[in-house]
Structure 1
Amino acid sequence: MIPYDTAKINQMINESQSSSTTYDNGRKFEDLACYLFETIPGITIAKRNAMNQYDTEEVDVSIWNDKHQDGLPFINNIFLVECKNWSSSVGSVDVNWFATKVEDRGLDFGVLLATNGITKETDEIKRAQSILSGYLRKHIRIIVIDKEEILSLVNTYDMINLIKNKICELVVNG
């Protein structure tokens, strides 16, 4: 278990919400995502802000996972992280767009890091859950982590357990 610098996390979140442009806010939120993941044993940031060969999809963060026993041995070697540092929650369209990016690359896991999580609007949350369930049937697991969950992290053990719990919740709830 490696401790996170919680003051640094708070500072990075504050900076990601107070830059002069939304572009800068997004990049700072991606910096936070990289910090949270690369602190986990066996995790390396492979690429950031990479466009596909057709210039139609950008991947915010791609991660290489060496499957270290104290890290994320239950997740395949490559996975994606999408960062949504919005003032509002993400909707089903955004969930579907990210899941499509994961699927298009032949991957089976992705993390949607969304400052305000998925919308709580009844119909829209049902749509988002339906999309996640549909991808689960294809053996693609997409989890969502919000700002409050990030702020609760004290060490890498917390992050690993959060990921495990999110995967279990996704599978059990369908």
Structure 2
Amino acid sequence: MVAIPQQQIIEQLAAGDAGHTAQKGIALEEVVNHTLGLFSGITLIHRNAVDVAGSCEIDLILSNNQHPDGLPFLPFYLVIECKNWQAPVDTATVRAFTSKLRLMRMKFGLLVAASGITGDAADRTNSHAHIRDEFNRDELILLVVTRAELERLTSTEEFGALLKLKLGQFLLNMAHF
């Protein structure tokens, strides 16, 4: 277990809030990269990666060596999109991210959305409906972490538990019993 510098995260995000839109996004990307980088076996591969055609940009791509003290339940590549918006992320933006994941042949993505996503998780509306459709069509798993959740974390153990809980809830919510 590694301590997460909670106060530093809050201050870094607040500093981003005081800047222009790009600074808000950069602040969230830095927090996510640094926080996940505290886990054993997690390494940054690319930041703001752009494809050869210049048409697709991904905020963070991390490698996950699936170290027992890290995130062994997640895949080797962690593709992450960060949206430090005051409003929930809309379906079009979630669709754009899942499209990027499909183009990369990825089955897992992490969306860090400061204010969550549109719709109701229980009713599977709006962005939640799109995420369900992606899972049903291509078995693509998209987990969503909010800024409030990030700001509450005090250790990698807590963050790992949060991701495990979110993955379990995702699979349970997508199941057709």
Task: Please state which band the TM-score falls in when normalised by the shorter chain.
Answer: over 0.9
Partner of 2:75: 76
Gaps of 5+ in 2: none
Closer, same or farther: CA 162–121 of 1 in aligned 2, 3 Å? closer
TM-score (norm 1): 0.93
Is residue 153 of structure 1 aligned with residue 156 of structure 2? no
**Equivalents in 2 of 1:112, 1:11: separation in Å?**
21
**Equivalents in 2 of 1:92, 1:51: separation in Å?**
22
Q: Which 4+ runs in 1 deviate beyond 2 A?
A: 119-122
**Equivalents in 2 of 1:46, 1:87: separation in Å?**
28
| Cα shift at 1:119 | 2.4
**Equivalents in 2 of 1:67, 1:121: separation in Å?**
32
Partner of 2:50: 51
TM-score (norm 2): 0.91
**Equivalents in 2 of 1:149, 1:86: separation in Å?**
15
| Cα shift at 1:126 | 0.3
**Equivalents in 2 of 1:127, 1:34: separation in Å?**
28
Percent identical: 26
Gaps of 5+ in 1: none
Cα-Cα RMSD: 1.6
| Cα shift at 1:125 | 6.0
Is residue 168 of structure 1 aligned with residue 168 of structure 2? yes
Q: Alignment length, in residue pairs?
A: 172
Partner of 1:12: 12
Alignment deviations for residues 67-99 of structure 1 (CA, whole Å, 9 cap, x no partner): 000111111211211000112110111111111
